[in-house]
Amino acid sequence: MRILFRVDASPRIGSGHLTRCLALAERLRQSRCEILLVCRRDRSGASDLIRRAGFDCRLLPEAAERIDSLAGPPHRDWLGARSETDFEQTVAEMHGAWSRPDLVVVDHYGIDAAWECQMRTITAGILVIDDLADRRHDCTLLVDQTYGRSAKDYQSIVPADCRLLVGSEFALLRDEFTELRPMSLTRRETTSASRLLVAMGGYDPQNLTSRVLSELATVPMGHATVDVVLGRGAPHLQSVARMCDASPYRATLSVDVTDMACRMAKADLAIGSSGTISWERCCLGLPAVVITFARNQHGIARALSEAGAIRYLGDADTVIKNPGCIAAAIAELSDDGNARRLMGERAAAIVDGKGSERVARVLLEES
């Protein structure tokens, strides 16, 4: 089975779309599917991540067109070209490898039914991965891994015969999260807060990582270890590296990591962003202090906060205007083992780590 993924990653878009596509691609590869990822060229290093994962990656030209049409999805300018241009470029790159795919997976806020309708002329199936429910789709299957999402949110914007897989049981995670889940949950029953994970997304364009490190330096935590993770395309990478060197704690910066599940399993508390990483933390029962960067992340963070699975501080602008709020949350949770344990239990109840397996099984059954 030949499966084409159309997905992008960049400081503006973030890395979560690519992360969840790679998780599904890895699962499908285990069933001997041929995988090809098509992405728009960007200087963020996303193509290197894809190739290190062992997948073929074809790059579209860098964004050049001005997207000023009133037609199209709300995030149409994220696509880097007009819909018809992107479709033609995607097909041209695909033809460099295959004559036609058996399935196309689309994970892009800038793509809607117009693009998908064109793709329907050359493939039997289209899977859309979405979490906005804000535009029409022409697809055979749709996955939305948002906690609390209802199929009713999509019924009026997808074809009547489209199969909907919605809710956090379909969270697309790599196998290592499932494998490390038992160990991670067990160690949280007795652990102290001595190891912190700071992961504000692959790019962190507003440099919240430096803000976290600055406030963390004011919190007395003994001999704590601080694990800081960023992507190679993060614009403030060098300043974060300098802050790690100056930290009163044993702070290390790691770039483009491939072992995030292991780092989360070893961590006692996370300070991070929302989005795809939320489901990874939930699977491993990792208590977290969360800050959002984009409007579409607010709903996820609020829902997880109401469920008691995270401590939500608000969006980046709110946090920047409230100095000391990060330090206060870290200090409170680091001193309260019961609160961390309860938060971890509630998080783990939301995601069991088998979402990629469930989605892949449906895809293979329907192919």
Confidence of residue 69 (pLDDT cuts 50, 70, 90): low
Taking only the tens place, the pLDDT of each residue in 74-89 is 888 899 999 999 999 9
What percentage of the chain carries pLDDT values higher than 90? 83
Task: Work out the number of other CB atoms within 10 angstroms of the CB of residue 273.
Answer: 27
Distance, CA of 183 to CA of 216 (rounded, Å)? 27
Question: What is the DSSP annotation of 91-125?
Answer: HHHHTTT-S--SEEEEE-TT--HHHHHHHTTT-SE
| Mean pLDDT, rounded, of the chain | 94
User: Comparing C-alpha atoms, which of 8, 57, 50 is closest to residue 258?
Assistant: 50
Residue 191: its pLDDT value, please?
67
Taking only the tens place, the pLDDT of each residue in 30-52 is 999 999 999 999 877 788 889 99
List domains and CATH numbers for the chain: 2-173+353-366 (3.40.50.11190), 175-348 (3.40.50.2000)
Amino acid at 252: T
Burial class of residue 295 in the structure, from the number of CB atoms within 10 Å of its CB (0-12 exposed, 13-18 middle, 19+ buried): exposed
Residue 67: its pLDDT value, please?
66
Helices (H), 202-313: 208-216, 237-246, 260-266, 276-283, 295-306
Q: Are 204 and 229 in contact (CB under 8 A)?
A: no
Task: Indicate the pTM of the whole model.
Answer: 0.94
Least confident stretch, 71-75, 192-196, 216-220: 71-75
- Please tell me the chain's helix, strand, coil percentages from 3-state DSSP, rounded to the nearest 5: 40, 20, 40
What phi and psi values does residue 99 have, to the nearest 5 degrees? -80, -40
